[in-house]
């Protein structure tokens, strides 16, 4: 399910800068869509992954210590009534039969009804999706440009006192668990210290989440502190690697202005790892939002999942878990596709591939250079 990070693009021509070996027009094939078979294989691989995930989700929810029939009828129901309802719900059938029946309904958009309220599970989830999307959209809109500029700034001034100070701060923030960050922000900004924003996100359901910014401040700030260290260090490491390249040294010898070297040649070569880093950031947001929404009582997917677990509401639990897993697969596919489009060497080959250690190197880059 994890994406396959892809090497950075070759530097742009111009300014008399020598290009890395293997770059240039000789690489360009007459056909610009030679990578389409690779894309088809990646899509099939993604579909297979989703199918496996659906089986894991279904079997995992069956393993929970709860009986849907008992949940529906309540603890006072007789064993005979529970057995009858299990028969009506088809829970006595073999597990493979139950799974394929459930999968058929899911493919038709029917995720079942909530055991707690009787409302269709997808209706409950869709009511919360907008709030979670608003939260993650704000975080990405603020985090991406901020971390990009900060990462470039730190790379240009690497090993300086300011760079070391910022790196220490990023590592320190990363060391704190998400719930601890959330609680600390509540103590500072919602109690007697600086009571300027509400501690609980009591959104008005009649209004959009974006129309109630006072309830978004703390959740957004918490998620920013969760994801900023990773992407900042990744961009810093990618920029340092680009600035240490031989063609950058040649450009400096030719007197090319440093600003032009950074933004014209180094930054484009750091874009491909950044795309994969943003995909990882989105996956981190999906996990972090579950905790943040529960801490702040934010009415999103995370709080809905928490309620489903507490109430043993299996249809809602299956719906949320499956949608989150599918979202991760789709994000990985989009990130790989965008990386291929941004990488000339990969865009003009029929089999865009990585060496076996590329993924590990991408993760290690975030640890600093």
Percent of the chain with pLDDT over 90: 17
Region label for 9, one of left (φ > 0), alpha (ψ between -120 and 50) or beta (otherwise): beta
Q: What are phi and psi of 113, to 5 degrees?
A: -110, 150
User: Residue 120: beta bridge partners?
Assistant: 113
From 267-281, 284-298, 336-350, the region with the lowest mean pLDDT: 336-350
Task: Please state at what angle helix 36-62 crosses helix 95-107, rounded to 10 degrees.
Answer: 130
Q: Does residue 366 have a pLDDT over 60?
A: no
The secondary structure of 110-137 as a DSSP string is: ---B-TTT-SBHHHHHHHHHHHHHHHHH
Q: Does residue 2 have a pLDDT over 70?
A: no
As a whole number of Å, the CA-based R_g of the chain is 25
- What integer is the mean pLDDT of 248-258? 86
* pLDDT score recorded for residue 224: 93
Among 286, 310, 341, smallest CA distance to 114 is for: 310
Q: Does residue 70 have a pLDDT over 80?
A: no
Distance CA 8, CA 345 (A): 9
* pLDDT score recorded for residue 138: 93
Name the CATH code of domain 32-65+111-365 (choices 1.10.10.10, 1.10.3720.10, 3.40.50.880, 3.30.2350.10).
Answer: 1.10.3720.10
Number of alpha carbons in the 13 Å side-chain half-sphere of residue 303: 20
Among 278, 320, 324, 312, smallest CA distance to 116 is for: 312
Domain boundaries, the chain: 32-65+111-365
* pLDDT score recorded for residue 290: 84
Q: Does residue 102 have a pLDDT over 80?
A: yes
Question: What is the reported pTM?
Answer: 0.75
- What integer is the mean pLDDT of 126-134? 88
Residues 6 or more apart whose CB falls under 8 angstroms from that of 22 comprise 10, 345
Distance CA 276, CA 335 (A): 6
């Amino acid at each position: 399910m994890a994406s396959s990070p892809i090497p950075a693009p070759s530097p742009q021509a111009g300014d008399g800068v020598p290009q890395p070996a293997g770059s240039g027009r000789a690489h360009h094939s007459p056909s610009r869509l030679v990578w389409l078979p690779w894309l088809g294989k990646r899509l099939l691989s993604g579909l297979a992954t989703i199918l496996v995930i659906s089986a894991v989700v279904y079997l995992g929810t069956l393993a929970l210590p709860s009986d849907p029939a008992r949940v529906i009828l309540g603890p006072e129901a007789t064993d005979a009534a529970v057995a009858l309802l299990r028969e009506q719900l088809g829970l006595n059938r073999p597990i493979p039969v139950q799974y394929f029946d459930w999968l058929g309904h899911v493919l038709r958009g029917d995720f079942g009804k909530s055991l707690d309220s009787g409302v269709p599970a997808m209706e409950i989830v869709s009511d919360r999706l907008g709030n979670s999307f608003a939260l993650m959209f704000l975080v990405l809109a603020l985090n991406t440009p901020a971390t990009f500029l900060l990462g470039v700034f730190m790379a240009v001034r690497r090993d300086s006192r300011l760079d070391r100070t910022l790196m220490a701060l990023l590592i320190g923030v990363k060391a704190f668990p998400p719930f601890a960050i959330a609680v600390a922000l509540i103590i500072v900004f919602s109690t007697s210290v600086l009571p300027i924003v509400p501690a609980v996100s009591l959104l008005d359901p009649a209004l959009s989440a974006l129309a109630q910014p006072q309830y978004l401040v703390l959740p957004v700030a918490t998620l920013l502190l969760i994801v900023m260290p990773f992407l900042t260090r990744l961009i810093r490491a990618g920029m340092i690697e680009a600035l240490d390249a031989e063609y950058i040294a040649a450009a400096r010898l030719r007197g090319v202005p440093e600003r032009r070297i950074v933004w014209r040649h180094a930054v484009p070569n750091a874009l491909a790892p950044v795309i994969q880093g943003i995909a990882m950031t989105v996956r981190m947001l999906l996990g972090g939002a579950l905790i943040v929404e529960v801490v702040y009582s934010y009415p999103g997917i995370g709080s809905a999942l928490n309620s489903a677990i507490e109430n043993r509401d299996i249809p809602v639990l299956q719906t949320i878990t499956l949608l989150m897993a599918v979202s991760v697969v789709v994000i990985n596919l989009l990130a790989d596709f965008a990386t291929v489009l941004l990488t000339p060497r990969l865009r003009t080959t029929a089999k865009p591939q990585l060496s076996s250690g590329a993924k590990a190197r991408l993760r290690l880059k975030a640890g600093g250079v």
